[in-house]
Structure 1
Amino acid sequence: MPLRLSLLGSTGSIGTQALEVAEQLNRTGTFPVEIAVLAARSNVQLLEQQARRLSPQAVALFEPAAARDFRQRTRDLDITVLEGPEGLCEAAAWEGADTTLNAVVGMVGLRPTMAAIKAKKTLALANKETLVAGGSLVIEAARQNGVKILPVDSEHSAIFQCLQGSPEERAVKRLILTASGGPFFGWEKERLQAVTPEQALCHPNWDMGAKITIDCATMMNKGLEVIEAAWLFHMPVERIGVVVHRESIVHSMVEFADNAVIAQMGAPDMRLPIQYALTYPQRLESPSGALDLPALGKLTFFEPDRERFPCLNLCIKAMERGGLVPAAANGANEAAVQLFLEKKIGFMDIPRLVQAAADSQPAVQAAKVEDVLEADRMARSRVLELAGSL
């Protein structure tokens, strides 16, 4: 029986690569994948191409105007068209799917994640904001519904793979996330003040969307991943380390009680962790290239520069304070990154604005999703208010 997939964010970087993986698996016949639902924000042209090629039961478009356009373009297709936030949630919980891959970017992914969990879908999670902002609610909902969360991010997939066969939780001493260091590794703080969006969007190793690429440049992405790892693997942040690994070959490591360290290695290709999440626990032929260690020659590791890239520590401190503080930090970062991309603030203004928004958020616990969304809204509002005076 094929895996029936609802793919949220099908027109983005993770989504398009997930479709490559699915189509490769179907070609080989080793692990058939049926695309039940495709969902996107507004890229009607690409979504139409995907729908005509893959014949899903339904598509969802977050922007209502895009949904109307899609209906017009595909009047010859027998396909259900969903729209808006409710449509995205309906896609996540689609009855004709058994697995939901959430690859949307940003806080918009939280409600669909909860919808998929409540519908008892296996959840392949690439939307890190889901756990950063609403971790306690998501993990508890997954526990209550018996839902398995399979990480798609390369770092969390690496840890998940390293933990296979671990005898018990007590055996794990520390998780070690690797970071590429982004395009500004080794830059002086004065030089960072003048960074442009064009420079920040040139990642040395990975091809990703704009928001996550900027997050890698500020090292906010690694801070968010520390928070995500704490929730996914039930690990306090003080037992999660970060090292800069410029080659992006070691994707993360686990240190055990006997001081043995197990690392997961591979080419910097997101198709590998995507496929592992879809086919787990099987390992099958992959479109990702083989690793040629002699050609690499050497692998290097450095301490992250927490002074020049303060976003990493901001996230760790937000998680230590707990409650809704990580949600505020995440929302503030999304707003600040958008302002930077629009050239309305400078590169080093991003951590300043995140810090201010996080500091203004009381460390109260979230009782419901609406609490998380309100903390997010207030943080964004605070960023816009402060940015006007920079």
Structure 2
Amino acid sequence: MSRPGRRLAVGDVLRLGAVGLRSRPLRAVLSALGIAIGIAAMLAVVGISGSGRADLRQTLDALGTNLLRVTPGEKAVLPDGAVGMIERIGPVTNAAALRKLPDDVHVYRNDRVPPRQTNGIVPFAADLDLTETIGATMAGGVWLNPAAADFPAVVLGAESARRLGITTPDPRAVVYIGHKGFTVVGILAPVTLLPELDSTALIGTNAARTYLGAEDHPTTIYLRTVDSQVTAVRDVLAATANPEAPYEVAVSRPSDALAAKLATERAFNGLLLGLGAVALLVGGVGVANTMVITVLERRAEIGLRRSLGATRGQIRLQFLTEAALLSTLGGLTGVVLGALVTASYAISQSWPVALPAWALLAGVGATVVVGAVAGLYPAVRAARLSPTEALTAT
């Protein structure tokens, strides 16, 4: 023990602060648990949302953010040559169109299905370079080629195939579009940027004209541009696609929908962070309560130490250190739990694990602040006890 008036060494301070934790381990663990839950909750929110954003960035990098979509107004149509005019724009690298079939043409599993049971599947005539333009891949079978596009062959979207009960392409697998049987030659994998294509049935433009009387007006045009020229191309698309009525043309960027989704998730994550902060506050109150009770229970110890020459500052430092150690124990546990939760969830979703270093440092820093605030009042109260009062109260 240090002599009266002498400043305590760091090792002495830590040993004194750990006395209360060692003497009441269950209480210490339960108090630290509140801090751990709060820190773990906040780290898990930051880590899981960060991992989700990292996965989204990887997806966008793979699919590209240079995909644009052109559609006509509600009662307007795009000219037959709109695709060719768009392809003449210098930075445009690919362009392909979908043409919606007549409203009375629907897709059925067989010719005995009641007309009203359309399953929400929308048939389109598709240009042959559509998959290359939108970055779609095949889950099975093949995409339409110049030969198949002239005959009754169809490629189903991923959701369309599920609704029709077709798991793999097969020459014997036939679906009816209108009153004509079409052989299923392929099934698309889910299209991340264009989920509406998952519920479509796609046939060649020549087959659509021959068998279903389809027109040549594009319903939707997709195009890819040079990355650095997306904004410039977007500005001239409406006038290029329909020079006579550019105000009746809508131009959108499918990746913007994913960005909006990400913004919504960030707002929701803010709410979850708030809940984590409340849990941390509750943990801090628990630490403060534990320290107040500790001061009351250890008045005899405080009085004895004061009688032996310990100063008010040394008593205050002892209990502040004890509160800080208690909070740090909870904080480190929370950091480990939060990292484990983040890693487990990210791995289960096949996401990259992205837990920023600043979040780990902030978690530890938050525990230091909580420990200081929670232990301040009990430490001051302990320091104010006179030796006579403390010894007499036992």
Alignment TM class, shorter chain as reference = under 0.3
Q: Which has the larger radius of gyration?
A: 2
Which structure ranks higher in relative contact order (CA pairs < 8 Å, sequence separation ≥ 6)? 2
Query: What is the TM-score with the length of structure 2 in the denominator?
Result: 0.18
